[in-house]
């Protein structure tokens, strides 16, 4: 028995030895390589996202003195915040601004469909024209539109006067100030939305439009039966970033609605309230509580959007 086993291990004369089987590297070596590549990104997330979040959470449970120093107060900041009418007013203004900002999505879809029309002349020029506001500084946009909305010599009121309509001080009137700023917000983000929708439209197979035409569907029917359902992933993505961006609006309001304006309170959003409490009143603990409340609102609305997208978003042709 031992002799036969010895013969099986002995190389047969005239034959080449079988190649040795290479052993796989231990899994821990691969893990170190993965950590090497993921490490810089993880470090950046920890330094610029997770640590500020933890720090904000801690500050929301403290109060800061006039000369520094933090005193633990527990949930007192949140109790003061939810008992204040300023939060409810700011949340209502943020919700109204967000609702108006969402109206820019249908406008962007229509413009993207027009830009995607085969044989359209000057398509590249129109794309650049719509995208210019995206690469323009928000402060510059706000200053230009402030002159347009001016109640005395503004271009908008001059144009309305030509057709017999009496204009108003759009940014000083509490009834129109927030809507006026929301229109500027739509105009400033229109270029990004159009680029996303054009990319989505170009991904729709032309054979589907041909099949719909053979079935007798006209342009409007093809738009609602083919274009919109297949463009729903892009619509969902744009709606998510629009809601998040609208809830965080600050720069346009800060420049267009100056301190002392009669429309200041009517246009105060959650971020504006955060700035006033944290940097004007120097109540850092209360400001941190406002920031956490805004974060929770954004998380809830985003989760609701992801939940509802299962009913109307189509990812397959």
Mean pLDDT of 2-6: 47
If you ran DSSP here, which 8-state letter would residue 63 be given? E
Q: How many helices (H) and strands (E) does the chain have?
A: 16, 2
Contacts 24+ apart (CB under 8 A), 72-80: 73/285, 77/285, 77/286, 77/288, 77/289, 78/289, 78/293, 80/286
Q: Give mean pLDDT, residues 270-274.
A: 95
pTM for the whole thing?
0.84
pLDDT tier for residue 96 given thresholds of 50, 70 and 90: very high
Q: What is the DSSP letter of 280?
A: I
Distances (CA, A) of 23 to 26, 27, 30, 277: 9, 12, 14, 63
Handedness of CA 67, 70, 73, 75 (dihedral sign): positive
Q: How far is CA 86 from the centre of its chain?
A: 25
CA distances from 77 to 59, 60, 61, 88 (A): 10, 7, 7, 15
Coil, strand or helix: which one is 68?
coil
Give the CA count within 13 Å in the CB-facing half-sphere of 235.
Answer: 21
Task: For residue 125, give the DSSP letter.
Answer: H
> What secondary structure letter does DSSP report for 46?
I
Q: How confident is the model at residue 183 (pLDDT cuts 50, 70, 90)?
A: very high
pLDDT bracket for residue 49 (50, 70, 90): confident
Name the band, by pLDDT with cuts 50, 70 and 90, for residue 1.
Answer: very low
DSSP designation for 62 = E
Phi first, then psi, for residue 70 (nearest 5°) are -120, 135
DSSP H or E run through 143: helix 138-149
DSSP class of residue 266 equals: G
Neighbours of 100 (CB within 10 A): 17
How many residues in the chain? 317
Give buried/exposed letters for 199-222 (b at 16+ CB in 10 A, else e): ebbeebeeebbeebeeeebeeeeb
Least confident stretch, 70-79, 113-122, 192-201, 248-257: 113-122
Report the mean per-residue pLDDT for the chain.
87
């Amino acid at each position: 028995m031992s002799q036969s086993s010895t013969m099986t291990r002995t190389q047969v004369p005239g034959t080449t030895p079988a190649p040795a089987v290479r052993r796989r590297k231990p899994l821990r070596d691969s893990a170190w390589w993965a950590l090497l590549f993921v490490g810089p990104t993880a470090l950046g997330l920890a330094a610029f996202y997770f640590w500020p979040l933890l720090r904000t959470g801690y500050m929301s449970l403290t109060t800061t003195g006039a000369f520094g120093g933090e005193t633990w107060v527990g949930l007192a900041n949140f109790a003061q915040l939810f008992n204040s009418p300023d939060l409810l007013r700011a949340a209502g203004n943020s919700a109204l601004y967000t609702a108006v900002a969402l109206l820019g999505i249908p406008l962007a879809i229509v413009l993207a469909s027009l830009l995607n029309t085969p044989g359209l002349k000057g398509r590249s020029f129109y794309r650049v024209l719509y995208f210019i506001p995206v690469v323009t500084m928000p402060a510059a946009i706000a200053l230009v539109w402030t002159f347009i909305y001016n109640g005395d010599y503004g271009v908008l009121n001059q144009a309305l006067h030509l057709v017999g309509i009496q204009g108003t001080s759009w940014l000083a009137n509490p009834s129109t100030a927030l809507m006026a700023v929301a229109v500027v917000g739509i105009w400033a983000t229109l270029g990004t939305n159009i680029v996303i929708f054009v990319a989505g439209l170009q991904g729709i197979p032309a054979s589907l439009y041909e099949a719909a035409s053979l079935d007798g569907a006209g342009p409007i029917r093809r738009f609602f039966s083919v274009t919109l359902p297949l463009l729903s992933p892009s619509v969902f993505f744009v709606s998510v970033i629009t809601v998040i961006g609208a809830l965080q609006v600050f720069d346009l309001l800060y420049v267009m609605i100056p301190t002392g304006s009669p429309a200041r309170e009517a246009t105060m959003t959650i971020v504006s309230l955060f700035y006033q409490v944290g940097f004007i009143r120097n109540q850092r603990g209360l400001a941190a509580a406002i920031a956490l409340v805004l974060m929770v609102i954004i998380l809830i609305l985003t989760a609701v959007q992801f939940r509802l997208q299962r009913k109307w978003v189509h990812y397959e042709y």
